[in-house]
C-alpha cells in the first residue's frame, strides 16, 4: 500500500489538547499508559492463541521492551503482542477513544470472559504520548499476517496521520515517541526505570530495558547488548493467597510503604458483587511521624485492572484509618479517574465501606487472638482509632469494642467488655475520669469513694478522649458517667446506713456551706457537701452537661477560647481541715482558709491558679499564724 494521508475522526485538535493538558496532571503518566497498552496487546494475543496457537509464531514468550536513542531523541515502547493490521491502525489510532479492547472483549465468550477482565482499555491513553512528543510513529504487524503486511502510522497530532505498508519480520508493535524540546529527562535509563517501578512494577509481563555498564573513556553509563527485567513482573495481589508466603507479603509491604519493619497484620481479599475489587491492606507496626496530620493523604494505592492510578487515595479509607497501607485494585473504575471523581463515585463509596469493615475485622482478630500484639498496636494507633467514634456511625459499636484504656485496676489494656465483667452487683454506669496524665488521673480526689468501695473507674488520658466522650454516651446499655461531673450517685452501691450518715453530715454542714458560698461566689457556681471524698477536704466538679476543666485547658492549649464557666466546690464535712474552717474565728481568717481550700481543689484537679502569688501569701500567713 502506498503512503496515504488520512484525517483524524472527530475534532482531534481540541480533543488532543484535552488529553495532553487536562486528562493527565503528571507528564510521566504517558509511559504508564503506553506500557499498559503494550501489556494489553500481549494479553490479547495470549487469549486469541488459546484457539489459534500458531499466532505465537516462533516467539511464545510475551514481553514489553523500553529503549531510547539520545542522539535521535526517541523513546520506543515495543511489545510482541497481537499487533495491528493497516485497517486496524487506521480504525484504532485514527479515532479518539476507539477501544479495540472493548470490541475484543465483546467477541469473547464463555469462560474466557472472566480472564479477559485483566485487559485494560486501549484508546485515549495512546494519545498521552503527545504530552512529551511532537511526533509519534507506530510500526506494527498483526499476528498471523505475512511480514510484508506490516504497517507504519505517523502523526504529529495536528489533525492528520499517514499510513503506509512496510515489511516487518516481528509481530507486535513499536510506539516511537519523537520527544519535543525540553523533554530530555525521559532519555535517561534511571528516570525510565524509576517511572516503570512506580507505575508498572506489577504488570504481569516482563518489562525489559538494556542493561548498562560504565564506560571509562566516556565517563558515563552506556548501553550493552543485554536486556534486563526492570519490573517485578507479578502483581502480588492478583495471585491466590495460597500461592503467597508470609515473607512475600512482608516484602511487598516494605516495598510500598518504605518501612523497614514487618507489618503488624495484613488482609488480602477479592470482593465480588455489584462492585469488584481486590484489597491487600496492612497495619504498620509503628506509627509514622506525621500520624497526627489529619490533612495527610492516606497510604492506600489505587490500581484499575492492575494499572497504577494514584498514590494516597484518601477517598478509599476513612481519616481515622489513615495509618493503613496497601493496594486496592478495582475492576470497575475508569482509568482516567480523578480525585474529584473518587469523592463522588458510588463504586468508591462501596469500596471504602468494604475496606473499612475488613480493617476492623483484622483488628478484631488480632485483639482476640494476639493480645500482646494488639496492646502494641493500641500504644501506636489507639488515639487515632478513637477519632472514628464520631466519624463512622455505622461502625460505632465495633470501634467501641476495640478501645482500650487504663483504669484504677490496671494501667493499660482495659476494654469495655473487661470492665463490664468486673462491675459490682447493682452497678449500672461505667465510671470514667479524664485527666492530662495517668498520674494526675490516679491522684484525683474524685476517685476516693470509688476506691473505698472497690468500684473500677476508667482513666482517660489521651487528648482525644474528651471529644470521644461527646460521641460515646453508653456501651451496651450502660451509660458512661464522669466521676468529675454532677453529684455522685452510687445508687444501689450505697447502703442505707451510709446514706443516712451522709445526709446527717450534710445537714450539720449547712451553715458552713452557706458561708463558703458567700465567700467564694465570684469563683464557684455552687458549694455543697459530698460523699465522694474520703481523704481529701474538697474537690472541683462541674455540672452534668458543662465543659470539664480538662477540656477547657485543652482548648486553651490549642489557641481556642473556652466558654467562661464556674465550677462547683464539693467539701468533705468529716475532714479535719473543713472542721477547722468551720471553727475559724474572724471573717478574714475564714476567707483566707476558704480561698486556700478552693485553690487546693483546683490544683488537685489539674488546673492552674489565676493568682498563684495570692495562694502562696495566704498559705504562708496560715502557716505562720
Which CATH number belongs to the domain containing residue 339 in this structure? 3.30.230.80
Same domain, 586 and 616: yes
For the segment 23-34, the average pLDDT, to the nearest whole number, is: 77
Residue 353, pLDDT > 70, answer yes
Q: Taking residues 559-587, what's their average pLDDT?
A: 79
Same domain (yes/no): 189, 333: no
Average per-residue pLDDT for the chain? 84
Continuous H helices in 52-111: 86-93, 100-107
The CA-based dihedral angle spanning residues 372, 375, 381, 386, taken in that order and rounded to the nearest 10 degrees: 140
Instruction: Please check whether residues 344 and 221 belong to one and the same domain.
Output: no
For cell 480493617, the residue is 359
Of 229, 260, 281, which one is at a domain's C-terminal end? Answer: 229
Residues 397 and 350 in one domain: no
How much is the average pLDDT of 406-416?
A: 94
User: Reduced to 3 DSSP states, what percent helix, strand and coil does the chain have, rounded to the nearest 5?
Assistant: 40, 20, 35
Q: What is the pLDDT of residues 177-194, one digit of tens each?
A: 999 999 999 999 999 999
Domain finish residue from 229, 248, 264: 229
Of 492, 522, 555, the residue that ends a domain is 492
State mean pLDDT over 461-472.
89
- Compute the half-sphere exposure of residue 207: CA atoms within 13 Å on the CB side of its CA: 31
| CATH value at residue 562 | 1.20.120.790
Residue 296, pLDDT score: 66
Task: Record the pTM.
Answer: 0.69
Do residues 125 and 248 share a domain?
A: no
If asked whether residues 109 and 201 sit together in one domain, one would say yes
- The pLDDT tens digits for 412-463 are 999 999 999 999 888 889 999 998 889 989 988 889 888 988 899 999 999 8
Q: How far is CA 419 from the centre of its chain?
A: 30
Same domain, 403 and 325: no
pLDDT band at residue 123 using 50, 70 and 90 as cut-offs: very low
Closest by CA position to 257, among listed 280, 239, 227: 280
Q: Domain tally for the chain?
A: 4
pLDDT at 314: 78
Looking at the structure, do residues 17 and 46 belong to the same domain, yes or no?
yes
The Cα 510–Cα 516 span in angstroms is 10
Query: What is the distance in angstroms between the CA of the first residue and the CA of the last residue of the chain?
Result: 117
Domain span at residue 25? 4-229
Alpha-helical (H) ranges within 267-345 are: 339-344
Instruction: Say if residue 495's pLDDT is above 90.
Output: no
Distance in angstroms (rounded) separating the CA atoms of residues 425 and 423 = 7
- Quick one: 258 and 208 in the same domain? no
- The per-residue pLDDT for 192 is 95
Helices (H) and strands (E) in the chain, counts: 22, 22
Task: CATH number of the domain at 486, please.
Answer: 3.40.50.11260
In terms of pLDDT, which residue wins out, 508 or 246? 246
What's the CATH code of the domain at 172? 3.30.565.10
Spatial contact of 124 and 23, defined as CB atoms under 8 Å apart: yes
**Stretch 113-140: mean pLDDT:** 67
With cut-offs at 50, 70 and 90, classify the pLDDT of residue 27.
confident
Residue 372's pLDDT band (boundaries 50, 70, 90)? very high
Same domain for 35 and 61, yes or no, is yes
Residues 334, 391, single domain; the answer is no
Do residue 190 and residue 241 come from a single domain? Answer: no
Q: For residues 265 and 584, what is the distance between their CA atoms, to the nearest angstrom?
A: 65
Amino acid at each position: 500500500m502506498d503512503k496515504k494521508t488520512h484525517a483524524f475522526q472527530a475534532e482531534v485538535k481540541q480533543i488532543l489538547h484535552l488529553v495532553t493538558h487536562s486528562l493527565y496532571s503528571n507528564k510521566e503518566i504517558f509511559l504508564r499508559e503506553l506500557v499498559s497498552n503494550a501489556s494489553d496487546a500481549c494479553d490479547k494475543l495470549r487469549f486469541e492463541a488459546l484457539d489459534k496457537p500458531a499466532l505465537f509464531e516462533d516467539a511464545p514468550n510475551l514481553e514489553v521492551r523500553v529503549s531510547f536513542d539520545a542522539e535521535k531523541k526517541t523513546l520506543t515502547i515495543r511489545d510482541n503482542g497481537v499487533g495491528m493490521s493497516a485497517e486496524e491502525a487506521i480504525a484504532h489510532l485514527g479515532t479518539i477513544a476507539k477501544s479495540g479492547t472493548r470490541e475484543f472483549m465483546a467477541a469473547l465468550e464463555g469462560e474466557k470472559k472472566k480472564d479477559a477482565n485483566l485487559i485494560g482499555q486501549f484508546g485515549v491513553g495512546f494519545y498521552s504520548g503527545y504530552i512529551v512528543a511532537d511526533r509519534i510513529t507506530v510500526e506494527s504487524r498483526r499476528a498471523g499476517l505475512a511480514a510484508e503486511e506490516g504497517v507504519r502510522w505517523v502523526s504529529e497530532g495536528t489533525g492528520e496521520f499517514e499510513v503506509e505498508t512496510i515489511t516487518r519480520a516481528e509481530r507486535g508493535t513499536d510506539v516511537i515517541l519523537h520527544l519535543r524540546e525540553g523533554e530530555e529527562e525521559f532519555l535517561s535509563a534511571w528516570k525510565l526505570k524509576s517511572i516503570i517501578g512506580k507505575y508498572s512494577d506489577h504488570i504481569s509481563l516482563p518489562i525489559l530495558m538494556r542493561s548498562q555498564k560504565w564506560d571509562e573513556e566516556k565517563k558515563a553509563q552506556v548501553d550493552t547488548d543485554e536486556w534486563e527485567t526492570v519490573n517485578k513482573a507479578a502483581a502480588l495481589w492478583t495471585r491466590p493467597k495460597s500461592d503467597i508466603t508470609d515473607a512475600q507479603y512482608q516484602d511487598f509491604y516494605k516495598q510500598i510503604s518504605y518501612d523497614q519493619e514487618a507489618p503488624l497484620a495484613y488482609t488480602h481479599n477479592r470482593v465480588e458483587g455489584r462492585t469488584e475489587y481486590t484489597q491487600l491492606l496492612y497495619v504498620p507496626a509503628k506509627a509514622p511521624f506525621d500520624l497526627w496530620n489529619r490533612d495527610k493523604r492516606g497510604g492506600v494505592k489505587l490500581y484499575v485492572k492492575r494499572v497504577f492510578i494514584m498514590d494516597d487515595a484518601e477517598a478509599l479509607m476513612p481519616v481515622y484509618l489513615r495509618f493503613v497501607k496497601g493496594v486496592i485494585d478495582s475492576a470497575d473504575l475508569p482509568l482516567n479517574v480523578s480525585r474529584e471523581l473518587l469523592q463522588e463515585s458510588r463504586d468508591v463509596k462501596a469500596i471504602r465501606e468494604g475496606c473499612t469493615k475488613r480493617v476492623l475485622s483484622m483488628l478484631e482478630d488480632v485483639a482476640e487472638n494476639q493480645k500482646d500484639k494488639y496492646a502494641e498496636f493500641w500504644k501506636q494507633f489507639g488515639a487515632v482509632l478513637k477519632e472514628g467514634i464520631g466519624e463512622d456511625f455505622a461502625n460505632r459499636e465495633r470501634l467501641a469494642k476495640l478501645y482500650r484504656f487504663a483504669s484504677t485496676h490496671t494501667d493499660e489494656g482495659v476494654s469495655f467488655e473487661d470492665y463490664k465483667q468486673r462491675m459490682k452487683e447493682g452497678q449500672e454506669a461505667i465510671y470514667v475520669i479524664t485527666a492530662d496524665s495517668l498520674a494526675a488521673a490516679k491522684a484525683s480526689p474524685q476517685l476516693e469513694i470509688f476506691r473505698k468501695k472497690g468500684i473500677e473507674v476508667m482513666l482517660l488520658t489521651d487528648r482525644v478522649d474528651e471529644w470521644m466522650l461527646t460521641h460515646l454516651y453508653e456501651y451496651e446499655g450502660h451509660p458512661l458517667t464522669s466521676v468529675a461531673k454532677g453529684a455522685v450517685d452510687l445508687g444501689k452501691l450505697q447502703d442505707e446506713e451510709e446514706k443516712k450518715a451522709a445526709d446527717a453530715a450534710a445537714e450539720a454542714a449547712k451553715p458552713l456551706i452557706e458561708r463558703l458560698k458567700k465567700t467564694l461566689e465570684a469563683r464557684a457556681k455552687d458549694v455543697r457537701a459530698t460523699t465522694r471524698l474520703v481523704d481529701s477536704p474538697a474537690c472541683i466538679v462541674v455540672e452534668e452537661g458543662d465543659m470539664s476543666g480538662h477540656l477547657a485547658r485543652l482548648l486553651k492549649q490549642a489557641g481556642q477560647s473556652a466558654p467562661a464557666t464556674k465550677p462547683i466546690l464539693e467539701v468533705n464535712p468529716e475532714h479535719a481541715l473543713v472542721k477547722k474552717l468551720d471553727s475559724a474565728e474572724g471573717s478574714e481568717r475564714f476567707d483566707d482558709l476558704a480561698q486556700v481550700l478552693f485553690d487546693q481543689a483546683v490544683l488537685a484537679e489539674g488546673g492552674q491558679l489565676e493568682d498563684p502569688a495570692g495562694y502562696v501569701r495566704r498559705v504562708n500567713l496560715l502557716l505562720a499564724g
